Amino acid sequence: MVITPLYDVSIQVVDLQKFEVVEREPMWSNIKSSQVALHVGEIGPKKAALLENIFELPADAEQQDYNVFISARNGDVSQLMRFRRMSGTWKCAFRVEKRNEAGESALLTEQIPPDFPGYAKGRLPW
């Protein structure tokens, strides 16, 4: 939920598994298929935007990773989302950072299930 209004909100969701293809074959069609871009517009105070069907967890995979970039006239936020299938159930670890005007990141929140693969000493290699 937003406490202050957000203006000119845009969201870019990058599928990191598909983006690996871009690194090997940097063609426009590969770049385009690895991400989704949305313009949300304004989000009022104490409101939220429900975005459906942006991405889908694959039925035949054990992991799926997304980087979500949210930009607005009054600030930018990035959310790193890591999904792992564990005993037939998807688990999600995520990290949210806000960039300041100097381009430095500040951690806003991070949630990692204690049994998440790769989680060690309170950290996950993002």
In a domain, 35, yes or no: yes
The pTM of this model reads 0.81
In a domain, 84, yes or no: yes
In a domain, 27, yes or no: yes
At 103, the pLDDT band (50, 70, 90 cuts) reads confident
Q: Where are the alpha helices (DSSP H) in 9-100?
A: 16-24, 28-33
Average pLDDT over residues 71-78: 89
In a domain, 31, yes or no: yes
Residue 122 has pLDDT above 70, yes or no: no
In a domain, 126, yes or no: no
In a domain, 28, yes or no: yes
Structural domains of the chain, count = 1
In a domain, 106, yes or no: yes
Reported as a single tens digit per residue, the pLDDT across 40-64 is 888 888 887 777 777 788 889 999 9
pLDDT of residue 1: 56
pLDDT of residue 121: 67
3-state helix, strand and coil shares in percent for the chain, rounded to the nearest 5: 10, 50, 40
Instruction: Give the C-alpha separation, 55 to 36, whole Å.
Output: 9
Q: Where are the alpha helices (DSSP H) in the chain?
A: 16-24, 28-33
In a domain, 120, yes or no: no
Domain that holds residue 35: 6-46+60-111
Instruction: Give the C-alpha separation, 6 to 46, whole Å.
Output: 11
